[in-house]
Amino acid sequence: MSDSGTKRGRVSPPWWALLSLAVVPAFAAPPAAPKPDPALDVYAAPAQRIDIGKGRHLNLRCSGQGEPTVILEAGFAADSLAWARSQPAIAEHNRVCAYDRAGMGYSDAGPLPRDLEADVADLHALIDAADIDTPVILVGHSYGSQVVRRFDTLYPKWVSALILIDPPAQNVGEFSPAYAKAEAEVAPKMLAMYRACEQGAKDGKLAAATPPAALRNCLRGANPNYSDGLNAAIRGWRSQPAFWESMISASQQRAALYAGAVAKSERHDGKPLIVLSADRPYQGVAPDDLKALTAAREQTHLALMASSRTGKRVVIENSSHDIPNDQPTATAIAVFEAMQMRKRGKDQASRGLLWRIGDRAFH
């Protein structure tokens, strides 16, 4: 998604703002419920804090049984709670683990910069320290798709299959230079807001019952789908300087990460790769920008599918960019299909029905 584009005075928020501020301080909330779901209260406390060395711990949440293990990599600024609706479905047949990246949730902060290489190194250290059997199926949502792609490039023997959930559009500037320019102009303003939030956290103002008006965009109100305890826990870790330090550092790396198209040299041959594409990813984006974003996203998703001889792409209907919440069974079905693709072998994996949901078939 994107953050710019101006025509007739209308400005679309930049793609990275929609993928970050839409989820940062509150993440896309699940559909409104009449009362909080008590099953989510497990997220009000750490699960298993794994020592990955140098005095650092990452919070790991595993459930289910069955091989191969599935590792869930959340989107930008998201923590393991992002998988609350999807993880149980996967756990019916596989051991599945979600975790909080450095500075998120209940994980310790990591050394700066918090760039893609740092996140990949942490994931490698976590799998090793937690003694997770490899190869694993890696599932990455949004920014998480970048992490798992890079991980597979560096450690291909550790990966059995890749599932990329609505990867963000790359190379938008090719389709709309004006959009890319406006996006670049907005980025410093977003970083300035993050820095104000960081300072507010350092001063203890974010943790106040009523933060100053200037900091009210840092934290959103309580989510009615969560209990008071869970809302308090989320507010607690997002009010810490470590969260905002990580946010700022990661945000500074994002423009370069998405500026160009998927490299033609990127290959994931020899293993299943499934791209899940939401059918409603750009809600709220100005019509004049939608064409460019859609074209860039199409280019990105097709290129990623083509990066493996056994690549597939599936459009997930009735879903925003937040597929794990909107269609929580889709990831579990993709995991199952990836396992079947491995069993059928390379020649057969690229043909036939991918899956059927309800009365609608996907190929």
Q: 303, 242, 309, 301: which is closest to 271 by C-alpha?
A: 309
Residue type, 21: L
Report the distance separating Cα 231 and Cα 221, nearest Å. 9
Cβ neighbour number for residue 342 with a 10 Å cutoff: 18
pLDDT at site 128: 98
Paired tokens of 312: 């597939």
**CA distances, 36 to each of 165, 175, 322 (Å):** 27, 43, 20
Q: What is the DSSP letter of 172?
A: G
Residue type, 328: P
Report the distance separating Cα 342 and Cα 335, nearest Å. 11
Report the distance separating Cα 80 and Cα 44, nearest Å. 11
Report the distance separating Cα 278 and Cα 317, nearest Å. 6
Cα dihedral across residues 342, 345, 351, 353: positive or negative: negative
Q: What is the DSSP letter of 156?
A: G
pLDDT at site 29: 52
In a 13 Å sphere around the CA of 88, the CA atoms on its Cβ side amount to 9
**Which positions ≥6 away from 256 have C-beta within 8 Å?**
none
Q: From first to last of the 363 residues of the chain, give the pLDDT tens digit.
A: 333 333 333 334 443 343 333 333 334 455 555 589 999 999 999 999 999 999 999 999 999 999 999 999 999 999 999 999 999 999 999 999 999 999 999 999 999 999 999 999 999 999 999 999 999 999 999 999 999 999 999 999 999 999 999 999 999 999 999 999 999 999 999 999 999 999 999 999 999 989 999 998 999 889 999 999 999 999 999 999 999 999 999 999 999 999 999 999 999 988 999 999 999 999 988 988 999 999 999 999 999 999 999 999 999 999 999 999 999 999 999 999 999 999 887 444 444 344 433 333 343
pLDDT at site 220: 82
Q: Is 95 helix (H, G, I), strand (E, B) or coil?
A: coil
Q: 339, 356, 354, 340: which is closest to 135 by C-alpha?
A: 339
pLDDT at site 270: 83
**CA distances, 48 to each of 98, 137, 249, 362 (Å):** 11, 20, 26, 37
Alpha helices in 75-176 (DSSP H): 87-91, 116-129, 143-154
Report the distance separating Cα 295 and Cα 303, nearest Å. 12
Residues 173/15, Cβ–Cβ less than 8 Å: no
